[in-house]
Each structure stands twice: as structure tokens, then as C-alpha cells.
């Protein structure tokens, strides 16, 4: 299957309640709400806005550092939808003394992307603008 992968990369941590709520709002606005959620496959948790936000903001142990053990925090959220069919994932790391690349990404079959292109592109644009503004104001 040929696919399109749309991913936002950042070194900033993005697991805040505000970002999670905005993300849920955008998914609902563009009718791209997933059916299943989880932190590992197979995804078994039914979607609800509250569950999505809880998993988005959840923190677990971050990175293993030789001689120290576990340091920092990390988070992951996976989701999938059947209508339209797509997969979603986000991972963030907050580990001292280590480089981190955090990401939010979608994977669509090309056929799905073409059928829902306007919704997908608009969701992605709004998400990027929101993240840029949020991260700029939260850092000052």
C-alpha cells in the first residue's frame, strides 16, 4: 500500500492539557476522530475525548542513562481510525543530557488522503499554527 506520512517534529515537549484539548477539537472539527487508542499495539481502548487527553498528557519514565538509571519523562499515544482509515502517533521525550526529537504524525493511504485531502490539510495547518503560537507564548 502506498502511503502518505505527515509528521511534525520538534524539540519541545507538547504533552500539555491545552494542546491535547486543541487536538481533540481539531479532530472533531474535521471528522477525523479515531476509534481506538493506546500506548502499544494492539490498540484496544475506545476513543473518548477524555481518554485521548488523559493518554496525551500521561507521563512515564523517560530514558535510561548508564550509571544513573531512569531519568526524565516520556509519553506516547497511538490511535487508529477505520473511517477514514488512518494511523496516528505521537511520542515525546524530556530526558536531561540527551537530545530529543518529539513528533506528532499521521499515516494515510494515498486513496484516503485524496478523499479527505481538504480536512487533513486544514487539520495539519491549524495544528502547526497552534503549536507554534502555543510554544512561543509558553516559553516566554
> CA 67, CA 124: separation in Å to the nearest integer?
41
What does the angle CA 50 – CA 9 – CA 116 come to, to the nearest 5 degrees?
65
Coil vs helix vs strand at 48: coil
6-19 pLDDT, tens digit per residue, is 999 988 889 999 99
pLDDT digits (tens, 9 = 90+) for 80-123: 999 999 999 999 998 888 888 899 999 999 999 999 999 999 99
Classify residue 118 as left (phi > 0), alpha (psi -120 to 50) or beta: alpha
Element (H, E) at 51: helix 49-57
pLDDT in tens, 17-48: 999 999 999 999 999 999 999 999 999 999 99
Q: What is the 3-state secondary structure (H, E, C) of 82-120?
A: ECCEEEEEEEEEECCCCCCCEEEEEEEEHHHHHHCHHHH
Q: What is the pLDDT of residue 139?
A: 47
Amino acid at each position: 500500500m502506498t502511503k502518505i506520512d505527515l509528521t511534525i517534529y520538534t524539540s519541545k515537549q507538547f504533552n500539555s492539557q491545552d494542546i491535547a484539548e486543541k487536538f481533540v477539537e481539531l479532530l472533531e472539527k474535521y471528522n477525523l476522530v479515531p476509534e481506538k487508542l493506546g500506548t502499544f499495539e494492539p490498540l484496544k481502548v475506545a476513543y473518548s475525548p477524555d481518554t485521548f487527553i488523559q493518554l496525551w498528557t500521561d507521563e512515564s519514565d523517560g530514558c535510561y542513562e548508564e550509571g544513573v538509571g531512569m531519568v526524565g519523562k516520556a509519553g506516547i499515544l497511538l490511535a487508529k481510525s477505520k473511517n477514514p482509515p488512518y494511523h496516528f502517533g505521537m511520542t515525546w521525550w524530556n530526558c536531561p543530557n540527551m537530545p530529543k526529537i518529539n513528533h506528532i504524525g499521521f499515516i494515510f493511504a494515498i486513496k484516503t488522503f485524496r478523499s479527505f485531502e481538504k480536512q487533513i490539510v486544514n487539520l495539519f495547518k491549524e495544528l502547526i499554527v497552534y503549536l507554534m503560537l502555543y510554544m512561543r507564548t509558553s516559553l516566554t
